[in-house]
Structure 1
């Protein structure tokens, strides 16, 4: 039996959008999966569960150029509009494997970032089914200052996170000792020879 002090709450689907205060992060196309994880966290905190309500919040956060490309879905939402919107956006902005490869190749040498930040950026570019091997770890070390790299080469570390943590320790603990010699020269960073040739070969193969 209900009392006068009890206030019944309508299900989420019947809530006016104005009664649910949600501020989604600014929409960004790089690593879109992370944007959706942040949106889902907001929905969980506010108790938003219905697909249509999630859809409306996401649409409201889209910039004009992105929303224009989804005008058909916005005008005519499907039976599960949030899932459809999420799938469409991921298809539109997820990098292909070759684009991930190019992005990894274009990451510059380490300057004012910690090695672990560099590693995070590199790991997020790996395809989900790809494990970081010796080539990946070599790309990471190739972007470190020569002194830190020489220290790491004396240690057997195969796990990328452990290697980044160790590099952070060298960056911090040995900073005063290493800083005078951490100026980069053209020999400090040597990318793979003839990357353009590798890229052309990859483009001519149906790998992805």
Structure 2
């Protein structure tokens, strides 16, 4: 009786396993937030010590057809150096809003709505992209807060935006609790 032939076992190294794990965690490309997607992507692959070409391949794998069409010349190029940076630069230029558009959104379109004051501040910082001094951003941010919150923050000893945002979050939370208790017991 013949012995069945065994296929040679291939074992994956820890590096291979980690690479597979990283590949599976990289989300599809975000057209609405390309800079944030690249920041997340680069953070995820940073400890992999990948070549630029390997990063290029991983990034291309996360693109839809419409995105690939935007970089077809880079993909088809015979050059094999600098392709990841070229891909990143191209996709940012295609999908990211201009500084003027972001400034316009910052000045005209942001509102507190249902978000916390600290979330509003982060959104405004994202739109301002270090193009606006903190003092100006603070005034603009505070103008979107309820007048009672503005009054308390105006007399606060701290001038750090993050500290003010944390205080505003606490005030907002307290106001919601007061309003819910007030609603349950009697009209306020």
Q: TM-score range by the shorter chain?
A: 0.7 to 0.9
2:7 matched residue in structure 1: none
- Residue 126 of structure 2 corresponds to residue 98 of structure 1: no
Matches within 5 A, 1:1-208: 20-21=20-21, 22-23=23-24, 24-45=26-47, 47-76=48-77, 77-134=79-136, 136-177=137-178
1:185 matched residue in structure 2: none
Q: How many residues align?
A: 166
What's the CA shift string for 1:115-155, capped at 9, x where partnerless? 11111111111133532223x22221222223222322333
What's the CA shift string for 1:16-37, capped at 9, x where partnerless? xxx7440312211344222112
Post-superposition shift, 1:174? 4.2
2:186 matched residue in structure 1: none
Distance in 2, matches of 1:152 and 1:67, equals 48
Segments of structure 2 that go 5 or more residues without pairing to the other structure are 1-10, 183-188
TM-score by length of 1: 0.67
CA RMSD of aligned residues (A): 2.9
Residues 158 and 164, structure 2, Cα contact 8 Å, conserved in 1: yes
Post-superposition shift, 1:159? 2.3
Q: Which has the larger radius of gyration?
A: 2
Partner SS state of residue 112, structure 1: coil
Structure number with the higher helix fraction is 2
Segments of structure 1 that go 5 or more residues without pairing to the other structure are 1-6, 182-208
Distance in 2, matches of 1:142 and 1:161, equals 16
